[in-house]
Structure 1
Amino acid sequence: MKYFFAIYITVFLFTTNTFSQEKVITHKVEKGETINQIAQKYRVTPFDIYQLNPDAQSGLRPNSVLLIPNKSGAQTVSVPPKTNAQGQSHVVIAKETLYGIEKKYEVSDEDLKKANPFLENEGLQIGQILTIPSKNAPKNAVVNQDKFIYHDVLAKETKYSIAKKYGITIEELEKRNPEVVTNLPIGYRLIIKGAAPKAEKVVERIAEKVESKEEKEKQDLKKALTVVDYVAYEVKPKETLYSLSKMFEMTQEELIALNPELNNGVEIGMLLRIPSKTPVSIGDKKEYKSLSKKITYDNRKRMVLLLPFNIANIESDTINSTYSRLKKDKFLNMTLDFYAGALIAIDSAKTLGLPIDVEIYDSRETKNSSDVATLIQSKNLVNANAIIGPFYQSNAETAAQLVGMNNVPVVSPLSKDIGNPYANLYQTIPTNEAIKGAMFDYMRSKNGNIIAVVDKKKESIVQYIKQYQKEVPFVAFKENGSLSAESLKSMLVKDRMNYVVMETGNTWMIKTTIASMLSSMSAYQVQLVILEPNETLDTDEIKFANLTKLKLMYPSVTSDYVSPEVAIFEKKYRKVNNIFPSDYATRGFDMTFDTMIRLVQNKSFEDTVNSAATKRGENKFEYYKKEDGGYTNKGVFILYYDTDMTIKEAN
């Protein structure tokens, strides 16, 4: 960076071919500063800074100096040609390539390097003064002083407003800048007055770092910029333009060309368009695998269940009988159901001959107390290979902390609370945000057009969409507060599935939405979507047949259809307990069996979590490491009502 700055100052003092002093200022990078912070400070875009400082894209170094454009909307740069005895001179500016300069002046690569021997060692640098052999006149050379007026696109500006500002037509603007015919990227530098760039130059402006000595490379880039099939990718914390380009095996310029908003920097939660043929796993989505074929029988494992039976409380209850207590105590019923399902899983493991010793203890827990600490010490649970339980979040955190020194996995059966982070704590219930996010991820994976019909009373849903799904538009309401069917229909697009996300308990609004969608089915593909359970849909006023016509789709932590695996479990459970299993019983089986299978792999429990997702009966286990520590489960089913009146999982 210091080298670039020294070159720039030299050129500034001895030539008139660079920006005037008012047009460029300098900034010394301080420790911890980001490109976005610097851009905001000077009211420019990160793209502007990268134009003058290409090597800044690989990271900022403290105490290095950046060139910052001193912007005021439009910028005028004078570029008079300069001649000498050897020929004409040319000052290298950002985004220029040897190929482009050689083509402009009709000079060969050999002749240009012969006249400028430093190019062999230094390569092309911003601010260099090149000598152009005098026998070659520049193509469409500028005589004396030709003014080029540029304009950097600001947020909310349109081609109409820019054209009007400079007294030109939109057609003239597009002729000089053919790459903005279809869109107008924020931060893009438009040519307002001056010669329109050639087609080859358009590619160079979009991809300033592309090595374009050979025409084939240009053609490859053009193809990359005209991809029509995309998938969506949500930017994760700590990801950068550089890391994203490496992940998707694209150049940074190709990524920006597909996602012009990246000119303003990379932001967490930003949704990017990525070519569907990108040979990587989008979003590091884990592959669902069967782990049963990779069991190792060499070492026996120790698994512990800490379940809140609270037997002492039952024995000391002199008022209620055990039977009456079971009828009243929902928490105890939930515990016993989970335990009954876990016992079926343990029995299945024995049948398979899995080398696991199982211990079950009463954790005697409430929300504010438990015997967890005493049990871990007295039973030496720091040497266990995995612990299932306790049930309450605070008690699960206590267990994780006490056995953390040995990195013993603590698998929390029912808690989805976001508490203190522990590296060995595994939350098995997906959060509400993860459930809704899975629904939106699915719709985007199908390249769907997403529309939101949300009652104003559903404030939490409105805020969620505004915060995490910013690009999803809301259907308008009329002055009397009713839904505007015209607004809904105007948002539908052809040749894509139109997903209408409906969140309301208002019967009339539901009917209006359904009627609008049904009347549009002859011309559009439409599907009704809900994010949360909706009791109004189960009333007699809403026809079930209409919900199946629209293939009502929703996300769920558990599957609502009976798979062959579930049928086998239900049969065995009924044989042992004489009743059908509850959701808690099924979860007890799924979670216990999944934990046991992971324990007997030829790798650690954490390694199995990082490498594979699993599906067990009615539950999915797709764990991801949280930024602050520990693991969260994002295994969610996407289900829909089929026209044959059954519930199925969407593919």
Structure 2
Amino acid sequence: MKKILTIVLIAFTMGLSAQNYIEHTVQPGETIATIAKKYLVTPFDIYALNPDAKRKFQPNTVLIIPNTKVKNEPIAEEGREIIGYEKHKVRRKETLYGLAKEYNVTEDEIKKANRFLYSENLKRGDRIRIPRYKTVVSRQTLSNTVKKYTVQPSEGKWRIAYKFGITVPELEALNPSMNDVIQPGDVLNVPNIEDKEEKEIESAYGYYEVLPKEGFYRLKVKLDLTQEQLEQLNPELKETGLKAGMILKVPAEVDTTTKLESVGTTNLKTSLSNFKTKKLALMMPYQLNRIDVDSVEEAKARIKDNKLLSIVLDFHVGVLMALDSAKQLGISTDLKVFDTRRQASTVSSILEDNDFSKYDAIIGPMEDSNFNRVALALKGDRVPLIAAMNKPKDVYSNVFQTIPEDKLLTKAMVDYVKADSLKTKVVIISDRANRATSEALQREFPNSKLIFTLTSSKDASKDLLYINPASLQNVFPSGKTYVFLETDDNAFASSVISMINGLRTNRAEIILATTDKNKAFEGKDIDNNYLSNLQFHYPSIYKDYDETKDNGFVTSYRKEYGVTPSKYVARGFDITLDILMRLASAENLYDASVNTVETEYIENKFRYNKALFGGYVNEAVYVVKYSDLRIVEAK
């Protein structure tokens, strides 16, 4: 028996030698991830050769590490070599951060060249040395499992990660300088596997990125797929288990981008633990350079006539009230306010003159171009940037989008109607401009009746924005009927609302709904009594605060300003208090924003879900309704 074992061991050792593997003895503090990174392989490679490492991993364990699968081409590595110093006399308002940017060096490199800066602050008149470097390129042939790969058209991070059997974070670890959005022609480091081992992206399936802390139970709730079903589609799961950033193959019909869940409201007051002072910045277009602060009357007139300024100031008041509320909970805040002036040059100066790397979060700017500029500048330091009043074009990895996407609002309304076990019928009334929306609704409700506006007999492409009243006869039987009205036209909305209000009876309950509550449902031509009679339902990113209940926020505002707070005051309060509460309940905003945490304040609620290879998007929405001429949350 011993001879047989000896022969097996000899054969195994010869096999390792022939396949060019190496051994690694685990040192204290090492993990599979750090070892994989050291040898530029993936954890999957190590587990494949060392299956026992999953249950028994400790110092002095000997692991078999793949050394090479395919011969590598030499890889060019860049380094920096100091070649001298440049003298600089510090001018007024200059900072280490600004000088580092100006001379393309780091703050630490300046400090190393001027040791007194470790104990003293930089001040005007100081004469310092700025190191100068040259780039040294060396070519090194690595005996590892990494090779170069050129990004193809339509390929993103997740496609490449899936193709080479690694997670997105592992791909990012192999490519520290990779852009947030990769482009065709970019050259990346990838596992050096044979072409036949690369996994193919199959159009007949969908794909999903596993989020941090997601287990099979969460995926069952989100994707409606069991562990067995996922393992059947992704056999490697049986070996590796779920890992954050892993790309899973799922059936094509599974919605991998949006899945509204019923999540209970989280009371963060019970989990406050991080009471370090929170460092916040507020970037808003106050445009104070246009206001004569010495003239009170002129300032008042400016605020009255400038709608944007009025919104900004209301939001600002809400922010300050949130800071005061947080202080009462033991959360202190260091807030710095910046006037962006709606100018790109001003935003650039703000970024150059200030070091934001230690900030816990930044709210704003409001303008898309300036927001994008700040997001990109702070992405490397992972400083959270809060889109409070806008939906940014690009949701970078450090962006928190507080306004939910339109498709989430539509889904919330559809799900609400589907969940009503008492409904008997759905009718959809639509103008031709909203044909796509109404036909999508009919697919959600296959037995519904779809009524379009009439067209001109002379020109079928001309929408008359009118329906024949006869088309509504005998449509509403006894019981409950939901009527979706999809239009952007105020006159058409007014006529339909009037018609269906007249068709209500004691036996026929008609509930009006829409997926997009726009200006068509407002104005003097819309009778709010009719909307209240029809219990008008629609999805919304916010709700009106409940006037029937005591509300310390509203009471404090009325006492201070003598009027009811606007929705912008409430939004400034809700967003800021939510940021501070989350920061006080975790180490940072990222850790506090898993999709199982839903918070709610005066008029807004927040449940963030990490976008596929992007930042965090709020998925918490309301369905509200008219009730006795008041707008309340529909339960």
Q: TM-score, normalised by structure 2?
A: 0.54
Match of 1:295 in 2: 272
Compared CA separation, residues 486 and 476, structure 1 to 2 (3 A): farther
Compared CA separation, residues 488 and 316, structure 1 to 2 (3 A): same
Compared CA separation, residues 528 and 320, structure 1 to 2 (3 A): same
Of 436, 448, 460 in structure 2, the residue corresponding to residue 463 of structure 1 is 436
Match of 1:401 in 2: 376
Compared CA separation, residues 492 and 623, structure 1 to 2 (3 A): farther
Alpha-carbon offset, residue 551 of structure 1: 0.9
Alpha-carbon offset, residue 529 of structure 1: 1.0
Task: Name the SS for the 2:532 alignment partner.
Answer: helix
Structure 2 unaligned blocks of 5 or more: 1-153, 156-195, 211-215, 231-249, 457-463
Compared CA separation, residues 321 and 468, structure 1 to 2 (3 A): same
Of 360, 364, 368 in structure 1, the residue corresponding to residue 336 of structure 2 is 360
Are 1:424 and 2:392 counterparts?
no
User: Does the 8 A contact of 1:483 with 1:509 survive in 2?
Assistant: no
Match of 1:266 in 2: 252
Match of 1:413 in 2: 388
Compared CA separation, residues 519 and 349, structure 1 to 2 (3 A): same
Alpha-carbon offset, residue 411 of structure 1: 0.8
Match of 2:363 in 1: 388
Alignment deviations for residues 609-648 of structure 1 (CA, whole Å, 9 cap, x no partner): 2131211101122222222411222332211112x33322
Match of 1:582 in 2: 566
Partner Cα distance (1:339, 1:559) in 2: 20
User: Does the 8 A contact of 2:546 with 2:632 survive in 1?
Assistant: no
Are 1:547 and 2:524 counterparts?
no
Alpha-carbon offset, residue 492 of structure 1: 5.8
Partner Cα distance (1:591, 1:433) in 2: 22
Alignment deviations for residues 451-487 of structure 1 (CA, whole Å, 9 cap, x no partner): 321123xx2x333344687445531445775424554
Partner Cα distance (2:590, 2:476) in 1: 45
Alpha-carbon offset, residue 517 of structure 1: 6.2
Alpha-carbon offset, residue 494 of structure 1: 7.3
User: Does the 8 A contact of 2:606 with 2:619 survive in 1?
Assistant: yes
Partner Cα distance (2:467, 2:354) in 1: 62
Match of 2:586 in 1: 602
Compared CA separation, residues 628 and 445, structure 1 to 2 (3 A): farther
Look up the equivalent residue of 2:399 and give its one-letter code. Answer: L
Compared CA separation, residues 496 and 545, structure 1 to 2 (3 A): closer
Are 1:347 and 2:319 counterparts?
no
Alpha-carbon offset, residue 531 of structure 1: 3.5
1:38-117 mapped onto 2 (5 Å cutoff) = none
- Segment of structure 1 superposing worse, 503-512 or 299-308: 503-512
Match of 2:617 in 1: 632
Task: Name the SS for the 2:510 alignment partner.
Answer: strand
Look up the equivalent residue of 1:519 and give its one-letter code. Answer: L
Alpha-carbon offset, residue 416 of structure 1: 1.5
Which structure would you say has the larger Rg?
1
User: Does the 8 A contact of 1:311 with 1:362 survive in 2?
Assistant: no
Look up the equivalent residue of 2:451 and give its one-letter code. Answer: V
Alpha-carbon offset, residue 385 of structure 1: 1.2
Task: Name the SS for the 1:383 alignment partner.
Answer: coil
Look up the equivalent residue of 1:347 and give its one-letter code. Answer: D
Task: Name the SS for the 1:606 alignment partner.
Answer: coil
Match of 2:487 in 1: 503
User: Does the 8 A contact of 1:438 with 1:555 survive in 2?
Assistant: yes
User: Does the 8 A contact of 1:503 with 1:531 survive in 2?
Assistant: no
Partner Cα distance (2:412, 2:199) in 1: 42
Partner Cα distance (2:543, 2:363) in 1: 22
Alpha-carbon offset, residue 396 of structure 1: 2.2
Match of 1:190 in 2: none
Compared CA separation, residues 302 and 516, structure 1 to 2 (3 A): closer
Match of 2:350 in 1: 375
Of 386, 391, 412 in structure 2, the residue corresponding to residue 438 of structure 1 is 412
Are 1:592 and 2:576 counterparts?
yes
Compared CA separation, residues 315 and 297, structure 1 to 2 (3 A): same
Partner Cα distance (1:485, 1:270) in 2: 42
Of 555, 578, 589 in structure 2, the residue corresponding to residue 571 of structure 1 is 555
Match of 1:16 in 2: none
1:612-651 mapped onto 2 (5 Å cutoff) = 612-642=597-627, 644-651=628-635
Partner Cα distance (1:382, 1:623) in 2: 23
Alignment deviations for residues 22-58 of structure 1 (CA, whole Å, 9 cap, x no partner): xxxxxxxxxx99xxxxxxxxxxxxxxxxxxxxxxxxx
Partner Cα distance (1:628, 1:63) in 2: 21
Partner Cα distance (1:602, 1:270) in 2: 27
1:192-211 mapped onto 2 (5 Å cutoff) = none
Partner Cα distance (2:453, 2:311) in 1: 43
Of 431, 434, 451 in structure 2, the residue corresponding to residue 475 of structure 1 is 451
Compared CA separation, residues 484 and 288, structure 1 to 2 (3 A): farther
User: Does the 8 A contact of 1:559 with 1:618 survive in 2?
Assistant: yes
Match of 2:314 in 1: 337
Compared CA separation, residues 595 and 298, structure 1 to 2 (3 A): closer
Partner Cα distance (1:391, 1:64) in 2: 42
Partner Cα distance (1:464, 1:436) in 2: 9
Task: Name the SS for the 1:555 alignment partner.
Answer: strand
User: Does the 8 A contact of 1:624 with 1:631 survive in 2?
Assistant: yes
Look up the equivalent residue of 1:576 and give its one-letter code. Answer: E
Partner Cα distance (2:350, 2:559) in 1: 33
Compared CA separation, residues 319 and 515, structure 1 to 2 (3 A): closer
User: Does the 8 A contact of 1:373 with 1:402 survive in 2?
Assistant: no
Identity of aligned residues (%): 25
- Segment of structure 1 superposing worse, 543-552 or 589-598: 543-552
Task: Name the SS for the 2:586 alignment partner.
Answer: coil
Alpha-carbon offset, residue 540 of structure 1: 6.4
Structure 1 unaligned blocks of 5 or more: 1-31, 34-60, 66-234, 254-263, 272-280
- Segment of structure 1 superposing worse, 299-308 or 282-291: 282-291
Compared CA separation, residues 545 and 577, structure 1 to 2 (3 A): closer
Partner Cα distance (2:495, 2:346) in 1: 53
User: Does the 8 A contact of 2:438 with 2:486 survive in 1?
Assistant: no
Partner Cα distance (1:331, 1:539) in 2: 22
Alignment deviations for residues 550-587 of structure 1 (CA, whole Å, 9 cap, x no partner): 21112222213435778321211122334332221121
Compared CA separation, residues 536 and 466, structure 1 to 2 (3 A): closer
1:174-323 mapped onto 2 (5 Å cutoff) = 238=208, 247-248=223-224, 266-267=252-253, 283-314=260-291, 321-323=298-300
- Segment of structure 1 superposing worse, 303-312 or 423-432: 303-312
Alpha-carbon offset, residue 359 of structure 1: 2.0
